[in-house]
């Protein structure tokens, strides 16, 4: 049984090498229960590689990954899904030949073998993410925003304790981002722990309670969003002075 003081997810001294390349270098981070934690940093920093290790698609070269008190490093994705870890992917690829309903039902079948029961879960999840009116549409007719919601819905249908969101806001316009931010916040409010990789910094400032910054495979800063946005190392490596000033001004309003 997990220690009540232990975070739901704890990554400790994790490294991943690809031959001579160190993509993730001795990374330590934690995600407390029912909180939103953000992982930011420039492209190529190792963020998605880290997600792939947490979700079982890659094995760490070194270090430990603990979930609910158990060391899960190296477990395959299907076993981690049953433990309660779900993730979305940067490149959204729905099952094009299926309806929105059946795409979500695929995720629900992880815990609900019956078609009718899985269908009920699909309907509940579709309402949660704003797809209820599109359940019978072919998935390949959805807009980018709709496909992002569908990717989120499929992950939610597995009944996760931990949800890894990999750039779920990428490609959305400002109004679409404003519409999906409350959806993500509501998931946190009902007890799902969220770790999100995101480049839309206004959304990170609005949603995340704690931020880790990854650059060249290493954590270079962590803290509350406003603290991280003002960190000179983060400004130098990622944000730039103009973006940091805009974020600081927006947070102060």
My answer on whether 78 and 175 are in the same domain is yes
How many whole angstroms separate alpha carbon 86 and alpha carbon 166? 11
pLDDT at 191: 96
My answer on whether 110 and 184 are in the same domain is no
| Total count of domains within the chain | 2
My answer on whether 230 and 131 are in the same domain is no
pLDDT at 246: 67
- Count Cβ atoms within 10 A of the Cβ of residue 252 and give its class: 0-12 exposed, 13-18 middle, 19 or more buried: exposed
- DSSP assignment letter at 135: T
pLDDT in tens, 57-102: 999 999 999 999 999 999 999 999 999 999 999 888 888 889 999 9
Domain range holding 47?
Answer: 1-6+20-84+161-253
My answer on whether 75 and 107 are in the same domain is no
My answer on whether 147 and 197 are in the same domain is no
- For residue 41, give both structure tokens: 């940093």
Taking the CB of residue 91, how many other CB atoms lie within 10 A of it? 8
Boundary of a domain, candidates 125, 141, 159: 159
pLDDT at 2: 43
Helix axes 100-108, 115-129, angle to 10 degrees: 110
pLDDT in tens, 188-246: 999 999 999 999 888 999 999 999 999 999 999 999 999 998 898 898 888 776 665 66
- For residue 180, give both structure tokens: 């999906």
């Amino acid at each position: 049984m997990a220690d009540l003081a232990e975070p739901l997810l704890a990554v400790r001294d994790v490294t991943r090498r690809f031959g001579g390349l160190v993509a993730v270098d001795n990374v330590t981070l934690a995600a407390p229960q029912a909180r939103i934690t953000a992982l930011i940093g420039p492209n190529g920093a190792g963020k998605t590689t880290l997600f792939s290790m947490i979700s079982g698609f890659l094995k760490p070269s070194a270090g430990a990954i603990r979930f609910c008190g158990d060391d899960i490093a190296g477990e395959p994705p299907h076993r981690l899904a049953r433990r309660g870890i779900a993730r979305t992917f940067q490149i959204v690829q729905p099952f094009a030949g299926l309806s929105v309903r059946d795409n979500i039902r695929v995720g629900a079948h992880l815990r609900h073998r019956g078609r009718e029961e899985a269908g009920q879960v699909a309907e509940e999840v579709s309402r949660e993410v704003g797809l209820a009116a599109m359940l019978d549409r072919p998935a390949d007719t959805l807009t980018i925003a709709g496909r992002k919601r569908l990717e989120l819905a499929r992950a939610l249908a597995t009944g996760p304790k931990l949800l890894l969101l990999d750039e779920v806001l990428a490609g959305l316009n400002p109004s679409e981002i404003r519409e999906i931010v409350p959806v993500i916040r509501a998931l946190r409010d009902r007890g799902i722990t969220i770790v999100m990789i995101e480049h839309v910094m206004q959304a990170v400032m609005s949603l995340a309670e704690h931020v880790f910054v990854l650059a060249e495979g290493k954590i270079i800063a962590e803290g509350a969003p406003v603290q991280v946005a003002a960190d000179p190392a983060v400004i130098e490596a990622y944000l730039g002075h103009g973006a940091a000033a805009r974020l600081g001004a927006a947070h102060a309003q």
